[in-house]
Chain A
Amino acid sequence: MERQSRAVSEKDEYQFQHQGAVELLVFNFLLILTILTIWLFKNHRFRFLHETGGAMVYGLIMGLILRYATAPTDVESGTVYDCVKLTFSPSTLLVNITDQVYEYKYKREISQHNINPHQGNPILEKMTFDPEIFFNVLLPPIIFHAGYSLKKRHFFQNLGSILTYAFLGTAISCIVIGLIMYGFVKAMIHAGQLKNGDFHFTDCLFFGSLMSATDPVTVLAIFHELHVDPDLYILLFGESVLNDAVAIVLTYSISIYSPKENPNAFDAAAFFQSVGNFLGIFAGSFAMGSAYAVVTALLTKFTKLCDFPMLETGLFFLLSWSAFLSAEAAGLTGIVAVLFCGVTQAHYTYNNLSSDSKVRTKQLFEFMNFLAENVIFCYMGLALFTFQNHTFNALFILGAFLAIFVARACNIYPLSFLLNLGRKQKIPWNFQHMMMFSGLRGAIAFALAIRNTESQPKQMMFTTTLLLVFFTVWIFGGGTTPMLTWLQIRVGVDLDENLKEDPSPQHQETNNLDKNTSKADSARLFRMWYGFDHKYLKPILTHSGPPLTTTLPEWCGPISRLLTSSKAYGEQLKEDDVECIVNQDELAMNYQEQASPCSPPARLGLDQKASPQTPGKENIYEGDLGLGGYELKLEQTSEGQSHLN
């Protein structure tokens, strides 16, 4: 008898295991299908559907099949077990069934009205991931890749505007969406569609903050392919990247906001606590991410790890991952830490890596980004059918659509107006319209929404978010190309062409000078940072930059000699991207105007620019970091050659 029961239980276990395999297999097949379809599209230059859109379509189809073609199994655990003696919910439960003790792990709390639909179809249940997977497994590579591939030069050139859009813009958008939704919720209560007291103002704000995370992958992919104006590209890209970080932290702070008595009333103390939380978490994550990147930079600088590219890549990967885990362990937001870790790694560590490792890390993260992104979008399609607690509410959905448009308008137009007051290169109207149009929602909004689907408002939010993502990705994503022509935005601008023009200040000097003077004051802070970065951080952390012995004061001579790598004295050509920063048309001019002692390095960079080889070389590095700079590289080398000829 023992044997028989053993056989039974083994067979059961067998099924238990293989369920997991089947479920993953479904995703694998979906992704394979997506890849093949995408290839077909790319091959035929068909730009209406991006790969993420394709992944969603396949996910939807698979969800439909799973939902209606699989038989729901018999009632399994529709009953609820009452434990009288349990007064609280422990994290681990040991259940004794005859002689065996099973261990149960606490998963979550379920509100009562979810219990019945929850036990329908085991396959559907199986296909539903734990939402934390998104945050702990899938999002980090995406975000890290975004940080790692920020085009440094254009990014820093537009840093002010990007920060404004990301911080102020997200806050505005969050509040506007929250207010509009609150109005709609009130209307719904009035119409009797919603019970009073279910949906608080904080819930609306929560929705606003998660909806503020824009994710224009689709648009950016098309921009990249068509070589749209790099300024527009970097504005959108930078905004969307930082945006995510802000939205995540904002969402967290809002969910923490818990006034003492009435959850609807405003409580100044709780409000300031939330604001403090926001700032604390953001700053902490930022510090954590950068600290790990700095450690990596130092390690790669002072060891000769570059002889073993595989070890180097491994180290790079592990330390970037540690940034995420440390932040999580410290109670900060891992994703934000990973983002800044990526930015810092690109800025410093990247210069220390061997050329083999540069390619390897880039490709590794590109690959992981690709997979993770498509898995998420696939899952979104699937979730529309397999998620069992959808709450469709037409009024709410309508309101949400309206709200995101209004909020996006409130974000872009006023801020652009303000920024144009200070900007040298104005953001023209067609750029503003394009940015307004590119307010797609994507992976982050989804991940934030699925994280908590306990209460009915949260379920409603989740459903709405899902529909918004579908709509924006398909409609807006598909409409990008027509929109670009309609708005008459420069297309086919070669990014490297543009880079080439920039660093030749001789014939741009005249028109740069006057714009530059107006810029000089507003950019003071950034200029200080650039000077500091160039004189101290770069030489300390990388092999490039001027030797520390020249930039540091006399009395710290020994330290500076210790920290300066031998390469800094030797090959001045190694200065790979110092000049990217210094050479910004605006900033380089500033340096010259001030005629401060730091101008020699700056000029040095300029002089190198004049030589035919360095631009090519430097551009290759630049291109390397960019998104799939493969074609760029090719063009670049051929150009470089023609230059040489």
Chain B
Amino acid sequence: MEPGDAARPGFGRAARAPPRRLLLPPLLLSLLLGRGLRVAAAASASSGAAAEDSSAMEELATEKEAEESHRQDSVSLLTFILLLTLTILTIWLFKHRRVRFLHETGLAMIYGLIVGVILRYGTPATSGRDKSLSCTQEDRAFSTLLVNVSGKFFEYTLKGEISPGKINSVEQNDMLRKVTFDPEVFFNILLPPIIFHAGYSLKKRHFFRNLGSILAYAFLGTAVSCFIIGNLMYGVVKLMKIMGQLSDKFYYTDCLFFGAIISATDPVTVLAIFNELHADVDLYALLFGESVLNDAVAIVLSSSIVAYQPAGLNTHAFDAAAFFKSVGIFLGIFSGSFTMGAVTGVVTALVTKFTKLHCFPLLETALFFLMSWSTFLLAEACGFTGVVAVLFCGITQAHYTYNNLSVESRSRTKQLFEVLHFLAENFIFSYMGLALFTFQKHVFSPVFIIGAFVAIFLGRAAHIYPLSFFLNLGRRHKIGWNFQHMMMFSGLRGAMAFALAIRDTASYARQMMFTTTLLIVFFTVWIIGGGTTPMLSWLNIRVGVDPDQDPPPNNDSFQVLQGDGPDSARGNRTKQESAWIFRLWYSFDHNYLKPILTHSGPPLTTTLPAWCGLLARCLTSPQVYDNQEPLREEDSDFILTEGDLTLTYGDSTVTANGSSGSHTGSTSLEGSRRTKSSSEEVLERDLGMGDQKVSSRGTRLVFPLEDNA
């Protein structure tokens, strides 16, 4: 065999999709006829009988089979939909009775489990009548196959590859196969709306206030957690090898891969409870922001671990070049996806700004949806990670485009993605429940599972406590011990870990990982999710904080700062340096990006230097001049009002001059502070999650900008 003549997959992801248009020398092949895979027992019997009959009958039989297959597809989808319906109704009951032990996702899993049991043990196994025959030559695996059967031509499409050992086990139960989806469905259909919604609903203010900590948790934390889990699991695997429980290969990269997929935390359950109980907003923002970015990091991390291919003979030894290549891939994919998402977000913002599309909310919504979806497709087409791109696209859309949309489109887009998110999430969780029984290649290994449980707790602890310690050195608002415990506790695993694990279940190691991931998700969602409320009260975390009441405390703290808070002022000094880069970004955003991309912000003519006056006039929307009243400035100033940042502005720079022309209507407080009208608060809150009870209040600070000094 010369190199590359056969598409022989290693342990990688190759097993899923077949080679498409490869030029390979012809090979002998044999056709194995798998009968009855897609047909119910009755149908296969009828078509089996038809085989001996005339060709017309065969044709009819095949048509019948296709019809039967379609019908079964409908039934399997119907199963899921009824599951979801049931979940919705039960959830309503729970919400109605204020039962908080079980979140809807947990419930969806339970129902999935029940149906899985029924399907597994309640449906008859299909009798697979195998017939193997060898045919003529073929060169390679085509995507479509034309087969000449006694004068008739039939077209077959390639569905996937099956590892030879699995041929028999694959044909067990038809119904089980039917309800098993192609894992790519999760990545291409179900995850994008979930992730986009997460990005779109990031509470901007709190998110940006804690940006540094969130980034630290997401990047460093995930890396730490991945590494620690990987190492611990490697130990466990070694142990298993000694005990003789391991029946196939399990490399160190596999362990790291497991570490990467299991590092994707997804505390939906906890967040839903926080939201309902109005737990402390900072804690909420930390957890939410971490979990959102975490997912992105984990995806890219796992794909770069897969891409780690040392040169040389031993494919699993450490190889510096390959390692750096993997790191390079990580950085490349991440930044590429980020750019892609941000660029499409910016394009959408520009399009919505310069067209008067807001007269037609339907068109606007459709455009918004299509552009966001294009991000995903574009990233996938360029070889980046679509899900990551979609996340950043969501954040950019929320930051810029949202301000350009008409009021109706805002609620439309919000609601649309909310519904999509809700359906997709519950679908995934009910599928998880189902998969425990319907997935046919589970590898249960008690040692591995126990090891994994220990590893995720240790990994989470090694992630939260040291990082929090370092962050507390720099943070003004320290992250309290109870917050740290709560964050430690909230390390649930969810949809992302599952999707990553199910993506490749070809090798033995991957199957074991998949099973373990599934069990970890079950355990964490049920036990930890159910224990959130007791935990909150046990840790004495502020509950019932209205997130919308929160701005005043901030501003109050600011007042305190101004007046008598020496300690906060000190904290701020230390913060000043570390937040330098963010400050730069904020002022850039406020001075240039916001005015270019949205209708708000100061007119570009004032912020840009004089020599680009023409360009500035061209890019500034007339509304900025027209609506000089501060009401128009929807959220440009959030950024500047961050508790810690404002002060640095106050310290390092100047007094207010009227340079930012749109602030004219604001009232000045204490010389450098201005109150803002409340309307923008309301607008801002629209983006948040379920905050109807918004009280319209809010003292807003607007600060002059550095370059006007």
Q: Mark B74-91, 1 if CB is under 8 A from A, else 0.
A: 110110011011001101
In the complex, the answer to whether B33 meets A86 with C-beta atoms within 8 Å is yes
Measured CB to CB, the nearest residue on chain A to B85 is: A318
With A31-B366, A83-B149, A93-B156 as contacts: A42 and B360 at CB distance below 8 Å: yes
Query: How many residues of chain B have a CB within 8 Å of chain A?
Result: 123
Which residues of chain A from 14 to 30 have any CB-CB distance to chain B below 8 Å in the complex?
A: 14-22, 24-25, 28-29
Q: Is A355 an interface residue (CB 8 A)?
A: no
In the complex, the answer to whether A38 meets B31 with C-beta atoms within 8 Å is no
**Which one of A62-70, A73-81, A393-401, A488-496 is at the B interface?**
A73-81
Q: Is A611 an interface residue (CB 8 A)?
A: no
Q: Is B183 an interface residue (CB 8 A)?
A: no
Min C-beta distance of A187 to chain B, whole Å: 30
Interface of A is mostly: helix
Q: Is B152 an interface residue (CB 8 A)?
A: yes
Alpha-carbon distance between A5 and B22 when the two chains are bound, in angstroms: 11
In the complex, the answer to whether B159 meets A104 with C-beta atoms within 8 Å is yes
Which residues of chain B from 147 to 183 have any CB-CB distance to chain A below 8 Å in the complex?
A: 147-150, 152-164, 167
Q: Mark A31-70, 1 if CB is under 8 A from B, else 0.
A: 1100110110011000000000000000000000000000
| A36 cross-chain contacts in B, Cβ below 8 A | 351, 355, 357, 367
In the complex, the answer to whether B9 meets A80 with C-beta atoms within 8 Å is no
**Which one of A359-367, A406-414, A586-594 is at the B interface?**
A359-367
Measured CB to CB, the nearest residue on chain A to B66 is: A106
Q: Is B617 an interface residue (CB 8 A)?
A: no
| B92 cross-chain contacts in A, Cβ below 8 A | 303-305, 308, 311
In the complex, the answer to whether A81 meets B148 with C-beta atoms within 8 Å is yes
| B89 cross-chain contacts in A, Cβ below 8 A | 299, 303, 305, 315
In the complex, the answer to whether A84 meets B135 with C-beta atoms within 8 Å is yes
In the complex, the answer to whether B75 meets A329 with C-beta atoms within 8 Å is yes
In the complex, the answer to whether B74 meets A371 with C-beta atoms within 8 Å is no
Q: Mark A364-390, 1 if CB is under 8 A from B, else 0.
A: 101100110000000000000000000
Q: Is A354 an interface residue (CB 8 A)?
A: no
In the complex, the answer to whether A322 meets B158 with C-beta atoms within 8 Å is no
Q: Is B359 an interface residue (CB 8 A)?
A: yes
Alpha-carbon distance between A88 and B46 when the two chains are bound, in angstroms: 12
Min C-beta distance of A541 to chain B, whole Å: 17
With A91-B38, A95-B29 as contacts: A109 and B62 at CB distance below 8 Å: yes
Q: Which of A13, A83, A88 is the one whose CB lies under 8 Å from B16? A: A13
Alpha-carbon distance between A193 and B182 when the two chains are bound, in angstroms: 47
Alpha-carbon distance between A43 and B354 when the two chains are bound, in angstroms: 13
Min C-beta distance of B422 to chain A, whole Å: 6
Q: Is B623 an interface residue (CB 8 A)?
A: no
Min C-beta distance of A114 to chain B, whole Å: 8
Q: Is A607 an interface residue (CB 8 A)?
A: no
| A107 cross-chain contacts in B, Cβ below 8 A | 144, 154-157
Which residues of chain B from 116 to 139 have any CB-CB distance to chain A below 8 Å in the complex?
A: 133-136, 138
Interface residues on A, range: 35 or more
Alpha-carbon distance between A322 and B88 when the two chains are bound, in angstroms: 14
Alpha-carbon distance between A233 and B50 when the two chains are bound, in angstroms: 52
Q: Is B142 an interface residue (CB 8 A)?
A: yes
In the complex, the answer to whether B74 meets A83 with C-beta atoms within 8 Å is no
Q: Is B263 an interface residue (CB 8 A)?
A: no
Q: Among A29, A98, A112, A305, find the residue whose CB has the most chain B CB atoms closer than 10 A.
A: A98
With A31-B370, A76-B142 as contacts: A94 and B167 at CB distance below 8 Å: yes
Measured CB to CB, the nearest residue on chain A to B134 is: A85
Q: Mark B21-50, 1 if CB is under 8 A from A, else 0.
A: 110000101111111011100000001001
**Which one of B294-302, B410-418, B444-452, B551-559 is at the A interface?**
B410-418
In the complex, the answer to whether A25 meets B363 with C-beta atoms within 8 Å is no
Min C-beta distance of B193 to chain A, whole Å: 13
Alpha-carbon distance between A18 and B187 when the two chains are bound, in angstroms: 13
With A5-B6, A106-B62 as contacts: A328 and B381 at CB distance below 8 Å: no
Q: Is A6 an interface residue (CB 8 A)?
A: yes
In the complex, the answer to whether B10 meets A92 with C-beta atoms within 8 Å is no
Q: Mark B360-390, 1 if CB is under 8 A from A, else 0.
A: 1111011101110110011011010010000
Alpha-carbon distance between A20 and B378 when the two chains are bound, in angstroms: 11
Q: Which of B47, B143, B145 is the one whose CB lies under 8 Å from A95? A: B145
Q: Is B69 an interface residue (CB 8 A)?
A: yes
Q: Is A319 an interface residue (CB 8 A)?
A: yes
Q: Is A325 an interface residue (CB 8 A)?
A: yes
In the complex, the answer to whether A101 meets B419 with C-beta atoms within 8 Å is no
Q: Is A643 an interface residue (CB 8 A)?
A: no
Q: Is A418 an interface residue (CB 8 A)?
A: no
Q: Is A629 an interface residue (CB 8 A)?
A: no
Number of A-B contacts (CB under 8 A): 373
Min C-beta distance of B399 to chain A, whole Å: 21
In the complex, the answer to whether B419 meets A360 with C-beta atoms within 8 Å is yes
| B419 cross-chain contacts in A, Cβ below 8 A | 310, 313-314, 317, 360, 364
In the complex, the answer to whether B158 meets A103 with C-beta atoms within 8 Å is yes
Q: Is B423 an interface residue (CB 8 A)?
A: yes
Q: Mark A284-305, 1 if CB is under 8 A from B, else 0.
A: 0000000000000001000111
Q: Is A268 an interface residue (CB 8 A)?
A: no
In the complex, the answer to whether A87 meets B150 with C-beta atoms within 8 Å is yes
Q: Mark B45-59, 1 if CB is under 8 A from A, else 0.
A: 001001110000011
Measured CB to CB, the nearest residue on chain B to A32 is: B370
Min C-beta distance of A257 to chain B, whole Å: 15
Alpha-carbon distance between A81 and B29 when the two chains are bound, in angstroms: 11
In the complex, the answer to whether A115 meets B153 with C-beta atoms within 8 Å is yes
In the complex, the answer to whether B135 meets A85 with C-beta atoms within 8 Å is yes
Which residues of chain B from 172 to 213 have any CB-CB distance to chain A below 8 Å in the complex?
A: 184, 188
Q: Which of A82, A102, A308, A310 is the one whose CB lies under 8 Å from B135? A: A82
Q: Is B477 an interface residue (CB 8 A)?
A: no
Q: Which of A38, A101, A315, A325 is the one whose CB lies under 8 Å from B74? A: A325
In the complex, the answer to whether B158 meets A304 with C-beta atoms within 8 Å is no
Q: Mark A103-147, 1 if CB is under 8 A from B, else 0.
A: 111111111100100000010000000001000000000000000
Alpha-carbon distance between A461 and B563 when the two chains are bound, in angstroms: 83
Min C-beta distance of B47 to chain A, whole Å: 7
In the complex, the answer to whether A8 meets B4 with C-beta atoms within 8 Å is yes
Q: Is A96 an interface residue (CB 8 A)?
A: yes
Q: Which of B18, B70, B167 is the one whose CB lies under 8 Å from A328? A: B70
Q: Mark A318-332, 1 if CB is under 8 A from B, else 0.
A: 110110011011010
Q: Is A260 an interface residue (CB 8 A)?
A: no
In the complex, the answer to whether B412 meets A108 with C-beta atoms within 8 Å is no
Alpha-carbon distance between A108 and B96 when the two chains are bound, in angstroms: 51
In the complex, the answer to whether A322 meets B412 with C-beta atoms within 8 Å is no
Q: Which of B6, B16, B52, B78 is the one whose CB lies under 8 Å from A325? A: B78
Alpha-carbon distance between A31 and B373 when the two chains are bound, in angstroms: 12
Q: Is A2 an interface residue (CB 8 A)?
A: yes
Q: Among A13, A102, A108, A307, find the residue whose CB has the most chain B CB atoms closer than 10 A.
A: A102
Q: Is B241 an interface residue (CB 8 A)?
A: no
Top 7 A-B residue pairs of the complex, sorted by shortest distance between their CB atoms = A104-B156, A85-B133, A9-B7, A6-B10, A94-B32, A21-B380, A13-B17
Known: A8-B7, A21-B380, A83-B135. 15 other contacts (CB 8 A): A5-B3, A6-B8, A7-B309, A9-B14, A35-B357, A39-B360, A86-B135, A87-B58, A100-B164, A111-B153, A303-B93, A308-B95, A325-B75, A325-B81, A326-B78
30 A-B Cβ contacts within 8 A? A4-B4, A5-B9, A12-B18, A12-B22, A13-B16, A21-B381, A28-B373, A32-B367, A36-B367, A39-B355, A42-B359, A73-B21, A77-B144, A83-B136, A85-B135, A86-B135, A86-B147, A87-B52, A96-B32, A100-B7, A102-B162, A104-B159, A109-B154, A110-B154, A303-B93, A304-B92, A311-B92, A314-B88, A314-B423, A366-B362
Q: Which residues of B contact A (CB under 8 A)?
A: 1, 3-10, 12-14, 16-22, 27, 29-35, 37-39, 47, 50-52, 58-59, 61-62, 65-66, 69-71, 74-75, 77-78, 81-82, 84-85, 88-89, 91-93, 95-96, 133-136, 138, 140-150, 152-164, 167, 184, 188, 309, 315, 351, 355-357, 359-363, 365-367, 369-371, 373-374, 377-378, 380-381, 383, 386, 408, 412, 415-416, 418-419, 422-423
